[in-house]
Structures are given as C-alpha cells and as structure tokens.
Chains A and B, each alone.
Chain A
Amino acid sequence: MDKLNQILRRIPVWAVYVLGLLPAPWLFYLGLTGGLGIEPIEALEHEYGELALKLLILGLAVSPLRRLAGLNLMKFRRAIGVLTVCYAGLHLLVWLVLDVQAPAQIWADILKRPYITIGMAAFVLLLPLGLTSNNASVRRLGAAWRRLHRLVYPAAVLAGLHYVIVAKGFQFEPLLYLLAICILLLSRLPVPRHPFARRSSDST
C-alpha cells in the first residue's frame, strides 16, 4: 500500500482534471456521430448522470479508503468533487436543452415529478460545494467550510434515490449505487468501544 501511495503522490492533480473531463466532449462527439446508439439524447443524459454518480461515490470513498485500507487519495478529493459537480451539471443541461426543450415544461416537471425534484435538490446541494472548492473559499469560510461541505451526504442520498426512482420496474443497478452510497455514509458513523476503531469524527 505504501508503494501505491508513493506512485499516487507522483501523479499531478491537473492530470486528474484533464483525464476526468475528457469523457465529456468524447461522449458528446459519440452522440453526434451515432456512437451512442439510435437515441443519443437519452443515452448522453444517462452517461453524464452515471458518471456524476460514480464520481460522487469515489469522492465519498476517499476518507474510508484512507482510514480502513491506508490508501491515500486525499490529494485528489477536491478534483473528484469538482468533476462530480461538472458531470451533474452536464446531465442537467442535456435534460434541459436537448431532452425537455420547453422551458415552461421544465418548472412544471421540477415541481410535479418527484424524481426530478429529488435530482434537482441534489444538484442544488452540490453546486455551492463546487463553487467553494478553492483555497480562497476554504480560508474565508474557515470552520463553516467543513460544515458546508457536509451537504455532500444528503446530496449523495438524494442522487442515489433519483436514479432508483427513475428506473422502470425493479432494477438492480440503481439499487447498487444507492447501496454503495449508504455503506460509505454508514462507515462514517463512530463505532464506540471497538478496540481497532480510530476516531472517525474528524474525517469528512
């Protein structure tokens, strides 16, 4: 694990940003050229949404991975978080611009359809986290920054629910995402009187 951590230390953060952003234009290009199948609007919407969920889960896994497995990805956590917000935003944009199209319909949908209400709520919670993911905000907000960024927990549960509710019939994949999110959140609860438990209250 130490060796792996050493290798990770040598990877610059900008490389994670670049690699993480590449799928965005690539998927759009595939959608334009038929690479996403017969119905590219729905496909692109799903691809961006699933990527956002995967990144969200990866971001939530950073601190348990360090605590329980000794794998240190802390250096990349901000990049993972910012990428999460980017893909959630792209997912939302495809829905607004390419899918629903009618602006009047959008408000009606957000208010009327629970899965959209929940998805929007998740995005609204994530947006300030993305906007304050910079050193200046961390300095200016101080202790409030930590409290603010705990919004990622409710946002993650809402995002997982959003995917579960949108599925037709009983489907496993969305439930697996929600399960992963729940496990990662539960792993943060303090485990009292366990001989090997470290203080988990100071991890975020």
Chain B
Amino acid sequence: MAHRWTNTLTYADVTPRAAFLNRRQVMAGLAGSGLAAMAGRAQAEAAVEPNSWEEITSYNNYYEFGTRKDDPAKYAHTLKTEPWSVTIDGLVDRPGEYDFQDILSEMTIEERIYRFRCVEAWSMVVPWNGFELADLLNMAGVQEGAKYVAFETALRPDEMPGVAYPVLDWPYREGLRLDEALHPLTIMATGIYGRPIPNQNGAPLRLVVPWKYGFKSIKSIVRITLTEDEPPTSWNMANPREYGFYSNVNPSVDHPRWSQASERMIGGGLFAKRQPTLMFNGYESDVASLYDGMDLSEYF
C-alpha cells in the first residue's frame, strides 16, 4: 500500500538555498497577483520547499511541555521514547499492544514533503519520513462497522511538565473518519529530513494529515482505537465553537477569533508577507471528494 502518493517536487529538484529563497519570493509575488487563484496540485506543489531543520524543530505547539512555542524544544527531551508501544484496539481483528520497533519492521518508510498549516494561521513545509496509516490499520485488521479512528497521546506527568496545568483535558485526543484515515495522504511520521523525529515534533510516531489544521496531527501516539461513533477530540472538547471535528484547512471559514484566509510562512523574518491560504491546504484535488455534499461551514 506504500507509495500511493508521490511528491511532484522531490529532493532531485532541490536547488541551492539562495535560489530557494528567490523562488519563495517569486511565489509570494504570484500569490499577490492573483495567479494563485489557479489552485490545484501543480501550483500547490510548486510552492513546496521545506523549512529548515532548525525552524521545524524549534517552533512547536506541544502543550504537554508548555504553551510557548519554544517550550517543547526546551523541555521535551525528558520524554522517554524507548521502549514504546502502541495499543490498537476497538473494532479490529488483531487488537493488542504493538511494539514500535515491530511496527517499523513491517512498514515501508517513505518521504513526504507536505505543507503544514497551523490553525493559528502560520505554516511550514516539512519533509516527513513515515508510512501510510492505512498500512498500520491493515496490520491490525479493520473490522466491518468501524467508521472512525481515535488517537491518544502519551500522558506522563513525570516527563511532561505541561500536563500539571489544565490547559486541555489530558490526555490529548484526536480522531479521523475512517476514509480520511485510510487516505493515501494520511501518514504516521517517524522522521524529519531522514533523521528520527525529535521529541518536540511528536516522537516516536505521530499522525500527519496535511489537509487539516496542525492540531489534528496528534503527536507521540500510544493508542489507536477503531470506533463506530465519532470520538471526542481535545480541542473540540475545550471549545466546540472554535475547533470542529473535521478542521479541514479552509480559507473561507474563519476561526471565530481570526481570519483563516491567509497565513504566514515561518522563516520569512520580521517583514514576512502573508500568503493566501489554499483550500484543503493545497490538497483539494486529492481530498475534496471525501466531503462531497457536506456543508463545510457547518462541518468545520
């Protein structure tokens, strides 16, 4: 099931850093002139160029380690990721505790360069390494009747200073509809830039759903449960008016407190220009059909 989706831009296309920077400006210029309105795969992919390792690993939201962007990079080193196991249960043929190394030995790791759009209206491009979630779910055997997938982050008060505060109802929980979970774009990431994923980015394995706001891409997963009903999810529990279950990137549905029409690409410095946000974060042609007939302002 691996390799069901390929980047149109790969490292073979990678040009020197200086040329990258120029291209970023060109793309920003195009966006401003309205040419970006020609949405679609080719255009979205052309703008994809990864952020630096430094940017990706030092600007994080991982509230279990504190609410400031630099807290995770400062404090996440205390999280013990070896050994690690993931409980897969609910409506599966082979429920149980799966050792992380055993999972890895069964999976095909590939690189996926994805845009990453935070609900806070900033974005990055991350070269993830990982495997398709569909492969992991097939390993456990999804049963007839399963309609949703629920995920849970580790909750370790001794290793996570942030969980001493009731910022959210811990443990962090997320969920997907089964067809979203099985989509070829949906991956479990285990690395960035070919290196093991750092703790602050969700080691040892995390979900990445590139067409949804970043908080859907739950980190440091210890439990995956196949369910019949829509599972409760952390931000939706905290504020259902602001964070829907779907949380697809959508420039025309604003967050109640800010516009989602544009975003700031991390790495542009103090005078970075905002860029228009793309429908489904630029993956519209891949995923729009999942939501045929749904009112996306109601199911936000």
State the A residues within 8 Å of B (CB). 28, 31-32, 37-42, 44, 98, 101-102, 105, 108-109, 113-115, 165-172
Listed A/B pairs (14) with beta-carbon separation below 8 Å: A32-B269, A38-B54, A38-B59, A38-B266, A39-B264, A41-B264, A41-B272, A101-B273, A168-B120, A169-B168, A170-B165, A170-B167, A171-B67, A171-B167
User: Count the B residues whose beta carbon is within 8 Å of the partner chain — how many?
Assistant: 30
B259 at the interface (CB under 8 A from A): yes
- Does B270 have its Cβ within 8 Å of any Cβ on chain A? yes
Residues of A contacting B262 in the complex (Cβ-Cβ under 8 angstroms): 102
Docked Cα-Cα span, A105 to B263, in Å, equals: 13
B contact residues around A108 at 8 Å (CB): 259
Evaluate contact between A38 and B69: CB separation under 8 angstroms. yes
Given A37-B59, A105-B259, A113-B258, A170-B166 contact (CB < 8 Å): yes
Asked whether B69 lies within 8 Å of A172 as measured between CB atoms, the reply is no
Chain B hits for A115, CB < 8 A: 257
- Contact (Cβ within 8 A) A38 B55: yes
6 interchain residue pairs of minimum CB distance:
A38-B59, A169-B167, A40-B270, A31-B270, A38-B55, A170-B167
Residues of B within 8 A of A40 (CB): 269-270
Measured between beta carbons, the chain A residues less than 8 angstroms from B59 are: 37-39
In the complex, what residue of chain A is closest to B58 when comparing beta carbons? A38
On chain A, the residues within 8 Å of B235 by CB distance are 169
Cα of A172 to Cα of B184 in the assembled complex, Å: 40
B238 at the interface (CB under 8 A from A): yes
**Contact between B271 and A39 (Cβ–Cβ < 8 Å)?**
no
Contact partner of B274 (CB less than 8 A), chosen from A44, A101, A113, A167, is A101
**Cβ contacts under 8 Å, A172 to chain B:** 165
Chain A residue nearest to B119 (CB atoms) is A168
Q: Which residue of A lies closest to B120 (CB)?
A: A168
Whether A169 contacts B270 by the Cβ 8 Å rule is: no
- B263 CB → nearest A CB, Å: 12
Cα A41 to Cα B273 with chains together (Å): 11
CA–CA, A38 and B70, complex, Å: 9
Q: Shortest CB–CB separation between residue B174 and chain A, in angstroms?
A: 15
Inter-chain CA distance A167–B259, complex, in Å, is 16
Determine the distance from Cα of A89 to Cα of B167 in the docked complex, in whole angstroms.
Answer: 30
Q: Which of B225-254 contact A (CB under 8 A)?
A: 235, 238
Q: A37-B59, A40-B270 are in contact. Are A113 and B257 (CB under 8 A)?
A: yes
**In the complex, chain B residues 184-242 whose Cβ is within 8 Å of any chain A Cβ:** 235, 238
Nearest opposing residue in chain B for A32, CB measure: B270
| Nearest CB on A from B144, distance (A) | 37
- Contacts of A31 on B, CB cut-off 8 Å? 270
